[in-house]
Structure 1
Amino acid sequence: MSIERLVVIGGDAAGMSAASQARRLKGPEELEIVAFERGHFTSYSACGIPYWVGGDVGARDDLVARTPEEHRARGIDLRLRTEVVEIDVAGRRVRAREVESGAESWTSYDKLVVATGARPIRPDMPGADAAGVHGVQTLDDGQALLDSLARARGERAVVVGAGYIGVEMAEALINRGYQVTVVNRGSEPMSTLDPDMGRLVHRAMEGLGITMVNDAEVTEVRTGEDGRVRSVRTADAEYPADVVVLGIGVSPETGLARAAGLPVGVHGGLLTDLAMRVRGPLADGRVWAGGDCVEVLDLVSGRERHIALGTHANKHGQVIGANVGGGYATFPGVVGTAVSKVCDLEIARTGLREKDARRAGLQFESVTIESTSRAGYYPGASPMTVKMIAERGTGRLLGVQIVGREGAAKRVDVAAVALTARMTVEEMTALDLGYAPPFSPVWDPVLVAARKAAAKVRGGTR
């Protein structure tokens, strides 16, 4: 019996999860696995990088779940500092280049996994590539930022963008003693929330001493004679900076796949079926893709979207590995759940924002309630704001956003389950959630919001 070869492009969550799962199902005598990674690290938590930079996580290696040596010990031919620069789908082979030496070679495959991840968006403006300007997506990026902070020995930082990465990096830099300015082109930080909920995050950031500049866009990064960043400019002002962190967001790293003729969606991510196989005849059922380089089905809106999260990447890898290894698994889609924090302020969302619902052509009602994390009389009870969106007429839950202190963020998981089950807000009011004064009021904040939403839907039914 001939041995098949699986080639994996990308050594982080999706790629190495796929390789590891395939190896569990098939031994080296049945399946040879070759994995290429252009960086220095494998199987690490990119989501933990802001907490490492800020000092909450003590060491870089604490973020590594499985080292290259551990992967190799499991029978995976892992080639670090080697970048795949071409995919020849017709010839079933990839061309790889060693980063240090520049030496190139072709490797044939029977099955291919594309797990190239995403890249930080760099604005097209003067100075965007200057020394001291950092995107933060990989462990190598995090190390480069820390090295830059050590060299700069400055005290002023500018974060461009106020999404998850921007907000988390602003907190990290505050923890390191920097004066931080966040320049955000939106009306409020956290565009993944509706503006009224983002305003709560804005107030919390200012309470930490972070200067928020909203409705502004950086037009230029200015440098000194040494070539390092000295300031950033907007149309109306200039902000001094010893270091700049880009928190604008990420885009799928699909240039390699595009050049090979593989299909991408409107958001730039590779398109796959439920088994994570790349669609179209060119892939010939031999190419899979997962992680931050793919688009996934939004179960609420029914549309494809790009979401760069390690949770999804690891699930994609498990599905791919099962299918490559002769089993069967699918990834049905997502509801868009995400949590974050700014110091002790917890931020959570799942499902659709108001503008998402409008874009999907849905008529809806939205409600916002104020509650507490525990029974009001119990020590430590803290305020919590919950916003809930429901479809007009049917009452189907469409989305939930939560901002509050300890105990707020993970309450969004109840809403994520309700969204997946396509529950109505009326049905949610009867959920049998856990209650005791140290953990919740008699009516949990999510249920209070559901009751108010159900009443509004009934009143707004046409």
Structure 2
Amino acid sequence: MDKDLRVVIVGGVACGPKTACRLKRILPSARITIFEKGKDISYGACGMPYYIGGVAEEIKALCDTPVGVTRDVGFFKNVKGFDVECGKEVVAINREEKTVTVKDVDSGTETKVPYDKLVLATGGKPVRPPIKGIEANGVQHFHSLNDCRKLDEQLKEGKIKKVALVGAGLIGIEMAEALIDRGLEVTVIEMFNYII
């Protein structure tokens, strides 16, 4: 049954690659393709504060296996046996035809791709509290490697001296520590009466 099974996975950061690896173990002949709209895949988002704080010296370390092998497109193709296409956004699903429409984020061209099984592993989005000015200049969200790169660049340029950090969950507290380690004055704001 798995010989001709075409599996399309939407999302290539955490759940998508993990799902593809598991499927290849139980259905080795399946043809699996992951579509990820961003340029970064299979990274440890929970480790981003460690990069900001200097514990992880290179951002690439967030994409490495425990033994230092980088999880990139070539790794998944050559070692794990499935394809990953970055910069490709799934913009439509036709359940009757069993196809997805995939848009190249750079060129805008769209292609229909057939599937037998479809996995949606698109991840989450940061909570954006209903605060006036949340989209103003100087307000940054911290959710992706792009957010991490942007913040690191601003910190290196000395553009930031004080930070009001909204959210005292695990990542928020780790970010507060990382920013303090970089010499910033940090104020943590939390809507609940407790942290974490």
TM-score (norm 1): 0.39
Pick from 166, 181, 187 the counterpart of residue 175 of structure 1.
Answer: 181
The residue that corresponds to 1:52 in the other structure is: 51
The residue that corresponds to 2:73 in the other structure is: 68
Q: How far apart, in 2, do the equivalents of 1:124 and 1:23 lie?
A: 43
The residue that corresponds to 1:40 in the other structure is: 39
Runs of 4 or more consecutive aligned structure 1 residues displaced over 6 Å after TM superposition: none
8 Å CA contact 1:95–1:106 kept in 2: the answer is yes
Q: Deviations over 1:35-70 (max 9, x none)?
A: 111122222211111111111111111111322210
Q: Secondary structure of 1:117's partner? A: coil
Superposition RMSD in Å: 1.9
Structure 1 residues 180, 67: CA separation in 2 closer, same or farther (over 3 Å shift)?
A: same
Structure with greater Cα Rg: 1
The residue that corresponds to 1:148 in the other structure is: 154
8 Å CA contact 2:73–2:83 kept in 1: the answer is no
Unaligned segments of structure 1, at least 5 residues: 191-462
Give aligned pairs, total: 188
Q: How far apart, in 2, do the equivalents of 1:59 and 1:92 lie?
A: 41
Percent sequence identity over matched residues?
A: 38
Q: Secondary structure of 1:119's partner? A: coil
Q: Which amino acid aligns with 2:156?
A: A
Q: How far apart, in 1, do the equivalents of 2:154 and 2:41 lie?
A: 23
Q: Secondary structure of 2:140's partner? A: strand
Alignment of structure 1 residues 78-89 onto 2, 5 Å: 78-89=84-95
Q: How far apart, in 1, do the equivalents of 2:27 and 2:167 lie?
A: 45
> How much does 1:174 deviate?
0.4
Higher relative contact order (CA 8 A, sep 6+): 2
Q: Which amino acid aligns with 1:129?
A: E
Q: Secondary structure of 2:103's partner? A: strand
Q: How far apart, in 1, do the equivalents of 2:99 and 2:157 lie?
A: 42
Alignment of structure 1 residues 312-461 onto 2, 5 Å: none
Q: Secondary structure of 1:21's partner? A: helix
TM-score (norm 2): 0.86
The residue that corresponds to 1:436 in the other structure is: none
Q: Which amino acid aligns with 1:68?
A: V
Q: Secondary structure of 2:135's partner? A: coil
Alignment of structure 1 residues 1-400 onto 2, 5 Å: 3-27=4-28, 30-64=29-63, 65=65, 66-73=71-78, 74-151=80-157, 153-190=159-196
Q: How far apart, in 2, do the equivalents of 1:138 and 1:115 lie?
A: 15
Q: Which amino acid aligns with 1:181?
A: T
Q: Which amino acid aligns with 2:18?
A: S
Q: How far apart, in 1, do the equivalents of 2:132 and 2:103 lie?
A: 30
Q: Which amino acid aligns with 1:153?
A: K
8 Å CA contact 1:39–1:81 kept in 2: the answer is yes
Q: Secondary structure of 2:83's partner? A: strand
> How much does 1:13 deviate?
2.2
Structure 1 residues 176, 149: CA separation in 2 closer, same or farther (over 3 Å shift)?
A: same
Q: How far apart, in 1, do the equivalents of 2:115 and 2:72 lie?
A: 24
Structure 1 residues 152, 88: CA separation in 2 closer, same or farther (over 3 Å shift)?
A: farther
> How much does 1:20 deviate?
1.6
